[in-house]
Amino acid sequence: MSWPGRWWSEPGMTGPDVISQAANQAGALIDAYLDDDDPAVIVEAHGGPWKIVPGPMGWWAVQALDSGYGGWHEIPDTAGWLGVGDLEPDRIIGNLLDADELASNWREPGDRPVSTRRVPDEEARARLRADSDDVPGRPYVLGDVGPDD
């Protein structure tokens, strides 16, 4: 889940570097990928890793599963909105750490919040396999996703 346009590098916007600093201060930082094209901050929250990424209308979090090869799989159906692009970094982290639910798509009628309850690893792998089945000819191999996917 990434969003083109690099809005996070514009003046006045909250960048991934300060989000990673806020996560570190909160004791939640696992890793940070500060690439200008596809940044991500990996944090520990609600019993497992979450990947914080830029998306439509600001910063989003999605539960993640370690690929074992230096990257992270985004677990389907776990993405939630953390806040607008210029929200203070400690609030972005706090919104994830303190929430029981996150908005999944607040612009759509009938939006249902996403629980921050940790998806067990076995269920996460099953979701990843099912998600890869949607791409004809692409077999699912755990560990085939790098830090930017």
| Mean pLDDT confidence for 118-137 | 79
Sign of the C-alpha dihedral computed for residues 117, 121, 122 and 124 taken in this order: positive
Choice between 148 and 44, residue whose per-residue pLDDT is larger? 44
Instruction: Tell me the per-residue pLDDT of 79-114, one tens digit each, with 9 for 90 and over.
Output: 999 999 999 999 999 999 999 999 887 666 677 899
Phi-psi region of 109 (alpha: psi -120 to 50; beta: other; left: phi over 0): beta
Query: Could you please report the per-residue DSSP string of 52-75?
Result: EEEETTEEEEEEEEE-SSS-EEEP
Rounded CA-CA distance 126/81 in Å is 24
Element at 46 (helix H, strand E): none
pLDDT, tens digit (0-9, with 9 covering 90-100), for 22-77:
999 999 999 999 988 889 999 999 999 999 999 988 999 999 999 888 889 999 99
The phi and psi torsions of 146 (rounded to 5 degrees) equal -90, -175
What residue ranges do the domains of the chain occupy?
A: 7-132
Q: The pTM is what?
A: 0.83
Q: Which amino acid is at 102?
A: L
Q: What is the pLDDT of residue 36?
A: 80
Residue 4 has pLDDT above 80, yes or no: no
